[in-house]
């Protein structure tokens, strides 16, 4: 049977409270008593529960992370960035997804009530913002990751990137290679990143004297299928286009396939640009030019911000921006 704190107390002829104080370094103790307890701990080979010790110190040394799903293409990069920082500081990660809807959120709420973690990293699952904001207002330290600052009204600290300027860089690249008639495949209209990417891209074309018509902007859902369907619809409508800007890489993959299926060439006839720079983008055929979102860096920054708060640094109620960058590959420039 495992050695318990009661065993140590009995052998050292002290109370369990005294043993606990020795383990946690709390309270004033006679040095000879403390030495006797430590000697018994060594003799019996007692290993205290890390969770129990941390709870006694007022911390679990665990960070919670709430995400919509692990199937999002860039989710692994965010998680790895956060885990790298947490493990280096000897923190654990308790991960929650919303794959089962309300059941998942009830399970998450039970862990919040049990104080199973010291703070929370969040990639906001759709429809949970009010609940998350309430948790924050009640004192749960948290940091949001992605483009949710505008949705939380600035109440919750956020690590974000430059969706607007990233899309503008994509537009400048396409204009520089002589593409004046782009088709745009957006994300869902309700997402803040969709608005920012649409505005950033369209504003550059308008300033260059090539405004993008509404017919050339098609609402997608970030899937491969929506990219392919957008191209097929544009061809069926007789729209002229020499480039396609997609709001994520998956839809860009669908665009490339549909263009090639139509008998056109990428990039000779149609240049294609994505957004995210997921690992597959560099290995696609042709390799995809795309806006690189610093997802791993965002995960790292969110974890550092939360850990700094545990050490006494207030979490800033503002958005911290890590700039996106543009990566040129063969889908726009042979």
SS (H, E, C) 39-85: HHHHHHCCCCCHHHHHHHCCCCCEEEEEECCCCCCCHHHHHHHHHHH
The full 3-state SS of 246-274, as one line of letters, equals: ECCHHHHHHHHHHHHHCCCCCCCCCEEEE
What's the token pair of residue 234? Answer: 């544009």
What's the token pair of residue 229? Answer: 């369907």
Which range is least confidently modeled, 154-158, 184-188, 215-219, 301-305?
154-158
Scan for tokens 């899937």, then name that residue: 223
Helix (H) or strand (E) holding 10: helix 5-12
| CB neighbour burial string for 222-231, b if at least 16 within 10 angstroms, e if fewer | bebebbbbbb
**pLDDT (average), residues 271-275:** 98
| Cα 80 from Cα 281, distance rounded (Å) | 19
Q: Where are the beta strands (DSSP E) in 139-181?
A: 142-145, 158-161
**pLDDT (average), residues 248-274:** 98
**Which segment, 54-63, 121-130, 180-189, is predicted with the most confidence on average?**
180-189
Domains and their CATH numbers in the chain:
5-56 (1.10.260.40), 62-160+295-323 (3.40.50.2300), 163-294 (3.40.50.2300)
| Cα distance between the two ends of the chain | 68
Q: Is the pLDDT of residue 145 over 70?
A: yes
CA distances 207 to 168, 188, 200, Å, are 11, 25, 11
| Cα 242 from Cα 250, distance rounded (Å) | 20
Q: Is the pLDDT of residue 279 over 50?
A: yes
Q: Is the pLDDT of residue 148 over 50?
A: no
pLDDT at 149: 42
257: preceding bond cis by omega (within 30 degrees) = no
pLDDT digits (tens, 9 = 90+) for 84-124: 999 999 999 999 998 888 888 999 999 998 889 999 999 98
Which range is least confidently modeled, 94-108, 162-176, 236-250?
94-108
* pTM (2 d.p.): 0.80
Mean pLDDT of the chain: 90
φ and ψ at 15, to 5 degrees? Answer: -80, 160
**pLDDT (average), residues 181-193:** 94
| Cα 20 from Cα 12, distance rounded (Å) | 13
Which range is least confidently modeled, 69-73, 224-228, 304-308?
69-73
| Cα 289 from Cα 40, distance rounded (Å) | 64
Quick one: what percent of the chain has pLDDT higher than 70?
Answer: 91
DSSP 172-204: HHHHHTT--SEEEEE--TTSHHHHHHHHHHHHH
pLDDT at 51: 54
pLDDT at 243: 98
| Cα 163 from Cα 147, distance rounded (Å) | 8
What's the token pair of residue 246? Answer: 């997609």
**pLDDT (average), residues 129-150:** 83
């Amino acid at each position: 049977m495992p050695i318990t704190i009661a065993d140590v107390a009995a052998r050292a002829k002290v109370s369990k409270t005294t043993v606990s104080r020795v383990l946690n370094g709390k309270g004033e103790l006679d040095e000879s008593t403390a030495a006797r307890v430590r000697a018994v701990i060594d003799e019996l080979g007692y290993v205290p529960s890390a969770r129990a010790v941390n709870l006694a110190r007022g911390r679990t040394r665990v960070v919670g992370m709430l995400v919509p799903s692990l199937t999002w293409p860039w989710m692994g990069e965010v998680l790895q960035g956060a885990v790298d920082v947490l493990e280096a500081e000897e923190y654990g990660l308790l991960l929650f997804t919303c794959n089962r809807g309300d059941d998942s959120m009830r399970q998450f709420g039970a862990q919040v009530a049990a104080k199973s973690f010291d703070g929370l990293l969040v990639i906001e699952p759709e429809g949970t913002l009010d609940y998350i904001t309430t948790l924050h207002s009640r004192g749960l330290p948290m940091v949001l990751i992605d483009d949710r600052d505008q949705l939380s009204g600035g109440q919750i600290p956020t690590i974000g990137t430059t969706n607007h300027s990233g899309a503008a860089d994509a537009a400048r690249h396409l204009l520089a290679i002589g593409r004046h008639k782009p088709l745009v495949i957006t994300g869902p209209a309700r997402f803040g990143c969709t608005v920012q990417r649409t505005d950033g891209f369209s504003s550059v074309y308008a300033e260059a004297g090539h405004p993008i018509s509404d017919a050339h902007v098609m609402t997608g859902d970030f899937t491969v299928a929506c990219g392919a369907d957008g191209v097929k619809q544009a061809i069926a409508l007789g729209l002229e286009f020499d480039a396609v800007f997609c709001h994520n890489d998956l839809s860009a993959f669908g665009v490339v396939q549909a263009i090639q299926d139509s008998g056109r060439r990428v990039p000779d006839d149609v240049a294609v640009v994505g957004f995210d720079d997921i690992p597959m983008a560099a290995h696609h055929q042709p390799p995809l030019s795309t806006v690189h979102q610093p997802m791993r860096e965002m995960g790292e920054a969110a974890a550092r911000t939360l850990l700094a708060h545990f050490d006494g640094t207030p979490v800033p109620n503002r958005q911290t921006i890590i700039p996106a960058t543009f990566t040129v590959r063969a889908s726009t420039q042979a």
